[in-house]
Structure 1
């Protein structure tokens, strides 16, 4: 939503009062929409981007409290000001406890009306800015990408999240397997319970066993107290077993029992402990080949892979690179206290031509290096490491090359010899996402991993609302 936008909704069954409020607000620079009833308001708000709403407490049909509830559902965070007669202030206070932003007694003083509305505007813009920053920084595990492969990943997360199925996440190192696990947990019915993560490659087998299953006092030298394992800590929630392909075969058998019988045995204990966890596992290995070679238990593989989600490597989704780079540069600029205003076309071209064996993790490292070394607000190719700057792409076609070619065309089409701004890159990414989703805004927002309000803000920012 543009910083210059000031859009309000007035809902009141008294035309003279609506006319008076409208005149005051329009004189203060607001765009005003009117409705004579709660029902009419709900019919007209679809597609609107609102900064604030004023609604009457008492109306025929749907009253103000019922409309407040509906607006809070449709527009989370929208500041709603209640209009009430002087003798019904207590009702307005109750409404504020139910989510109203403020209240005004009728007839409202013009200056008081302006003050309350401007306070609501500041609040609305703060909410939008927080959403924008969260989106830019990938806060909450949001996955950025609108290419075909990433849309498939997001659809699978949405479909499989609410289930209790065990999920196996496959992908090369640095592709974001942990983000998929976080997304599945957030989409599950266990979202209010813990998500416990274990890197199976980070610990030797004996330590990993005690971390997973816990131990009782006296189980071994140094075990001075009982310690619950990760299975117990994740009770009611989700246990994410990262790099499970590195797990020792003996420990694999114990994981299989925990999955089948829903019990674990802490080290040194003779009494099994019941568990209630959902397992999400991840690996960068080809577990089918590991099974064939005898390195991974076949029965455990089939128990884990009820549904497989494969994350495409970055080289197969170069079409997502402009949006990824824009988000990462903004986040890393804040982290390193440096402002990045733009990047050169040559810089973007180098990024698009590189194969990214380390995937998104490598991209983040490369961009942070460029920011740290930069002496200006414009990033040039000289800031890139030699392997990225001097890389010559292979002539052989790669899987799913359509997004890569699409992005190279767009990067090459940046006009003029001057720097290409991050806004240009983000604008191109928005256009690509809109076209990929037939200009359906809700699907586009989901594909980009941002809220609909944030999408609307960006569309207005780049002049794409009429496309």
Structure 2
């Protein structure tokens, strides 16, 4: 079956010949143009699905040409080509709707890889195209507030691209749900979705977790291990808490992004993988860059399309919608008869600042269902620190604050340990790694304890 022609817009004759020969050698029909005007004219005539566009053209700005193409045919997949010193220009193009970008110099395999990805995405898009609301909830998200409608629209607009997405937001706002929604809405939905928490893995093991290792590569490597990048081949790799990544590994991640190759620890040669990268952090990434904790060049490589997850306190009545859904879920799991929230509880929930966001709301509803019986949730069923008697100006004190023994009498050592840990995490705005540093333990220890608490509660 013949493929639709590709359009190559490149003003350097020697490069035009090289790219054309490589693409034709792989079975692609190629139409070439040396200027922006000639490229737009050819685009109108042949209506290609995939366009290779150099951003530095003699007669017109490459971004302007791309916008013209996408205005004419929003379904077209544009791969932009830029010089090594113009990464910011490529990022701007991705945010404006480009499918992928190539940085000169690139090898033939990288060129073919980008074109095959775009062609495949075009086929999947044509096969599954159907009209849909762009502001309707996606995946496991609940809520229809204006802030979340903006998120849904942004997810849909970026899903078909190969652009890396940098998700920011406070702890508990649903950053991993956002990544999963991008994956499931993209043409990679049939491939694997691999999530890796960079803050939960010790620095000396993180490289092996990301890129894998061979047996005998280091002490304890008793068998070959496939890393997350290889496991995500053909799908999506989600790097959570990316700002916690060790600086040495950041260098290797940057090389991976530039070459699409990985080299497991102990391997003698690299291998190609086809992976889309999504990442997230609850920190301010630019502050991490200023402090020297995050490479600036990696930041600009990853921060192509930013998506900010709004805190629960900025989502209006979403808090009620989410709470009712959680109540139904937990009532079914715990075999309770709860059916709704009282009017007083709804008002309390609307007023609360929810520093732990949806994760905190989840724990509150689970606590209510496990410890109470009834049909409607009333204020008396809420945890003490959320009840109106606690007063809005009296936030729950942590064990290490003004009165360190307040409220600890009669509690077991395990219960006190949990209070101390959760207080530290709350005071660090949900950052487990920062809480771990304060408590002088590893982040993996805190993640393990929290998972244990969740299992105990659900048992």
TM-score in terms of structure 1 length: 0.54
State how far apart, in whole Å, the 1-side matches of 2:392 and 2:163 are: 40
In 2, are the aligned partners of 1:197 and 1:242 still within 8 Å (CA)? yes
Q: Deviations over 1:27-77 (max 9, x none)?
A: xxxxxxxxxxxxxxxxxxxxxxxxxxxxxxxxxxxxxxxxxxxxxx999xx
In the alignment, what sits opposite 2:360?
362
Return the structure number with greater relative CO, CA threshold 8 A, min gap 6: 1
Q: CA deviation at 1:385?
A: 1.3
Q: Does residue 339 of structure 1 match 2:334?
A: no
Matched, 1:176 2:188: no
Partner residue of 1:243?
Answer: 241
RMSD, aligned CA? 2.2
More off after superposition, 213-222 vs 296-305: 213-222
- Partners of 1:189 and 1:317 lie apart in 2 by 30
Instruction: Tell me, in whole angstroms, the C-alpha distance in 2 between the residues paired with 1:237 and 1:372.
Output: 38
Find the residue that maps to 1:228 and give its secondary structure.
coil
Which position in structure 2 is the counterpart of 1:309? 307
1:163 aligns with 2:153: no
Deviation of residue 295 (structure 1)? 1.0
How far has the Cα of 1:393 moved from its partner? 4.8
Q: 2:321 — aligned with what?
A: 323
Task: Tell me which structure has the larger Cα radius of gyration.
Answer: 1
Matches within 5 A, 1:103-114: none
Cα deviation, residue 345, structure 1: 1.5
Out of 286, 289, 297, the residue aligned to residue 287 of structure 2 is 289
Structure 1 residue 206, shift from structure 2 partner: 1.5
State the secondary structure of the residue aligned to 2:280: strand
Q: CA deviation at 1:195?
A: 0.4
For residue 425 of structure 2, what is the aligned residue in structure 1? none
Quote how far apart the aligned CAs of 1:339 are.
Answer: 1.9
SS in 1 for 2:317: helix
* Rounded Cα–Cα distance in structure 2 between residues aligned with 1:182 and 1:330: 23
Tell whether the 8 Å contact from 1:212 to 1:229 is kept in structure 2 after alignment. yes
Counterpart position of 1:348: 346
Helix, strand or coil: the match of 1:215?
Answer: coil
Q: Which moved more, 1:333-342 or 1:191-200?
A: 333-342
Tell me the distance in 2 between the aligned counterparts of 1:369 and 1:226.
43
Could you tell me which residue of structure 2 aligns to residue 271 of structure 1? Answer: 269
Provide the secondary structure at the position in 1 that maps to 2:310. coil
Is the 8 Å Cα contact of residues 327 and 339 (structure 2) preserved in structure 1?
no
Q: Structure 1 residue 378: deviation in Å? A: 2.0
**1:189 aligned to which of 152, 166, 187:** 187
Q: Residue 460 of structure 1 aligns with which residue?
A: none
Is contact 1:195-1:240 (8 Å) kept? yes
CA distance in 2, matches of 1:351, 1:141: 24
2:392, 2:302 → 1: CA distance?
37
Residue 205 (1) aligns with residue 203 (2): yes
CA distance, structure 2, for counterparts of residue 357 and residue 343 of structure 1? 21
Q: SS of the residue aligned with 1:250? A: helix
- Within 2, Cα distance between the matches of 1:172 and 1:382? 29
Structure 1 residue ranges without an equivalent (≥5):
1-72, 76-134, 395-467
- Spell out the pairing of 1:222-241 with structure 2 (5 A cutoff): 222-241=220-239
Q: How does 1:17-28 map onto structure 2 within 5 Å?
A: none
